[in-house]
Amino acid sequence: MAITLYSLGAAEEVTGSKHVLEVDGRSYLIDCGAFQGKRAEADRKNREFGIDTDRIESVVLTHGHFDHCGLLPLLPKREYKGTIYTTPATRDIASLVMMDSARIQARDAEYLGKQAAKKGEKFTWEPLYTEQDAIAATGQMVSVSYERPLWIGDGIQLSFYDAGHILGSAMAVINIKKNGTERVIAYTGDLGRKGKPIIRDPATNLPAPDYLVLESTYGDRRHDSTDDAMKRLAEVVRRAVKTKGRIIIPSFAIERTQELVYYFHMLSDRGEIPEIPIYVDSPMATNATTIFQVHPECYDEETHEAFIKHHKNPFGFNALHFTTSVDESKALNDMDGPLVIISADGMCEAGRIQHHLIHSIEDPNTTILIVGYMAEHTLGRRIRDKENEVKIHGMWFKRKAQVEAIDAFSAHADYQESIDWLKTIDTSRLKKIFLVHGEKDAQKVFARHLADNGFTNVEVVRYGATYDLE
C-alpha cells in the first residue's frame, strides 16, 4: 500500500488550502481553497489549480471559508464528476460563499473593464468561474454528519469530527484499510478554540491518528482573553460615541460577523456600551445568519438553551440593522456617526468593505477595527500594519483613520491552544505531525513549541514536495 501526501496550497502560507492524499495511485483532494494576497500572483495560482481532475477519486471539504472552498467550482468546470463530501452546514455555507465569489468576480470584470475602456487600455481578464459553475459544485456535494463513517473509495473511510472553527467545520479523519494494514490520517482543517460562543469546542474523541496534518496560523502567537477583548471592544465603542466617529469592521461574513453580533448584544444587555447603531452590510453575512438559524445541531449548550429552549435570538437586538440593497449600503457612507459598520470581505480584498474604506480611511475620526487574521499582501494586512498609504480600486489613499486590532476574536487556535488540544487526543500511534496553513516564521516557532511539549517529529509541508506515509 503506497500512501503519499502533498500540498498544492496553504504550504508555508495561509491561503489556498488544497492537499492531496494519494493512495495506490488514486488521489483524494482535501479542501479546494482560493489563494488571496497579491492580486496578480493569487490569480495566477488559482488558475494553475495544480491537479488534473481525472486523477481525483473523491473530494473532502473541511469547512466553508473561501480559502478552503473557493476553487470548488473549478472542479465541474474541469469535468470532475465525482463527489464532494462535507457536513450539512458546510454545504450550505460553501454554496453561499461560492455564489458570492462568482458574483463578485463578474462585477469586478465589468467594473475593471469599464475603467480600462475609459483609459483606452486593453482588458482581457475573465472570472475564474461563473454562478453556474458554483451551482454545479453544490450539486456534487454529499452531506455527512459528524462521526458517521462513510466509505469514499476502495478501502478509504472518511469520518468528520467537529473542528470548533466555524459552523459546520470539521476535522477529516481518513482511515485506510488495505491488505491487512491500517493507517489513520487526520486533517484538522482549521482548528478552533475552546469557549467560543455559538458553536461547540473542537472534538477530542477522534481515533488515534498515525499522521496528523495540523494548521499553524497562530503558531507564534497567543490570543487575548475573551474578557479582555470584550473590554477593548467596549472601549472602542465608547470612544466612537464620544467623538461621534465611525467604527469600520472588516469581517468574514461567516462566523466572525455572527460572533461580533453576539458580543455587541451581550455588551448592550449588560449596559457596558451606550446605544449605537450597528449595521451589518453584507448580503452574504445576512444570508449566513439565516444558515446559522437552521443548523442547531452545531450549537454549543449555551446557544442551544437560548435559541431552542427559550426562543431568544442571539443574532438580533434593537440596535442591529441588516442592509440588503446597494443603495442602503451607499447611504451608510453619508450617515453621521457614531455608528458601527460590519462588512465583508474579512481581508478587505473584495466586496462592500472596500467602498466603506474608500469613504472613511482618510478620516482621523474613524476607527478601523481588525478582528481576524489578515494574510500577507492583502489590503487588510497593510491596514493592520498601519501603512500610511494604501491602494483601493486602483487609487491611493492616505490612512488617517485609527487602527485597532483585537486578536481574541480569532476562530483559530493559538499555539498553546493547539498544544492543549493535542494533549487531550489519543496520540499513542502518532508518527509525525505535518504543519500546513501557516506563514514560515510562525511555523518555525510552532515547531519549537511542539518539540518543547514532547512532539518532536514535526515537518513543515512545502509546496509541491511529496511525503511518504509508511
Beta bridge partners of 459: 434
The domain at 226-409 falls in which architecture? 3-Layer(aba) Sandwich (3.40)
Phi, psi for 256 (deg, rounded to 5): -60, -45
Classified as helix, coil or strand, 383 is: helix
Domain ranges in the chain are 3-221+411-468, 226-409
pLDDT band with cut points at 50, 70 and 90 for residue 314: low
Please state, in angstroms and as integers, the Cα–Cα distance from residue 51 to each residue in 28, 55, 115, 172, 178, following that order: 11, 8, 34, 21, 25
Element (H, E) at 7: strand 3-9
Q: What is the pTM of this model?
A: 0.87
| Percent with pLDDT over 70 in the chain | 97
Interval 277-288: pLDDT, tens: 999 998 888 888
Sort 231 into a burial class: Cβ within 10 Å, 0-12 / 13-18 / 19+: middle
Rounded average pLDDT over 179-197: 93
Predicted local distance difference test score (pLDDT) of residue 316 = 63
Q: In this model, does residue 397 exceed pLDDT 60?
A: yes
* φ, ψ for residue 283, nearest 5 deg: -55, -35
Number of other CB atoms surrounding residue 177 within 10 Å: 15
Are 344 and 248 in contact by the 8 Å Cβ rule? The answer is no
Query: Confidence class of residue 292 from pLDDT cuts 50, 70 and 90?
Result: confident
For the segment 236-263, what is each residue's pLDDT rounded down to a tens digit? 999 999 999 999 999 887 778 888 888 8
Orientation angle between helical segments 440-452 and 415-422, nearest 10 degrees: 40
pLDDT tens per residue, range 322-362: 888 889 999 999 999 899 999 988 889 888 999 999 999 99
Q: Is the pLDDT of residue 268 over 70?
A: yes
Task: List pLDDT tens digits, range 406-454.
Answer: 988 888 999 999 999 999 999 999 999 999 999 999 999 999 999 999 9
State the Cα–Cα distance between residues 163 and 169, nearest whole angstrom: 5
pLDDT at res. 38: 83
Q: Which H or E run contains 212?
A: strand 211-215
Question: In the predicted model, is pLDDT for residue 137 greater than 60?
Answer: yes
pLDDT in tens, 226-239: 888 899 999 999 99
pLDDT for position 255: 78
Question: How high is the pLDDT of residue 219?
Answer: 96
CB atoms closer than 10 angstroms to residue 44: 11
Could you tell me the CA-to-CA distances from 415 to 166, 409, 419, 420, 429 in Å, in that order? 18, 15, 6, 9, 22
User: What would the mean pLDDT of 94-123 be, rounded to a whole number?
Assistant: 89
Mean pLDDT of the chain: 92
Query: In terms of pLDDT, which residue wins out, 392 or 226?
Result: 392
Q: How do the residues of the chain divide into helix, strand and coil, expressed in percent and rounded to 5?
A: 35, 25, 40
- CATH class of segment(s) 3-221+411-468: alpha beta
Higher pLDDT: 121 or 72? It is 72
433 - beta bridge partners?
212, 458
Residue 29 confidence (pLDDT): 98
φ/ψ of 397, rounded to 5, equals -130, 140
Q: Give yes or no for residue 134 having a pLDDT over 80.
A: yes
**198 Cβ contact partners less than 8 Å away, ≥ 6 residues apart:** 167, 255, 258, 259, 262, 292, 299, 300, 303, 314
pLDDT band with cut points at 50, 70 and 90 for residue 315: low
The percent of residues above 90 in pLDDT, for the chain, comes to 72
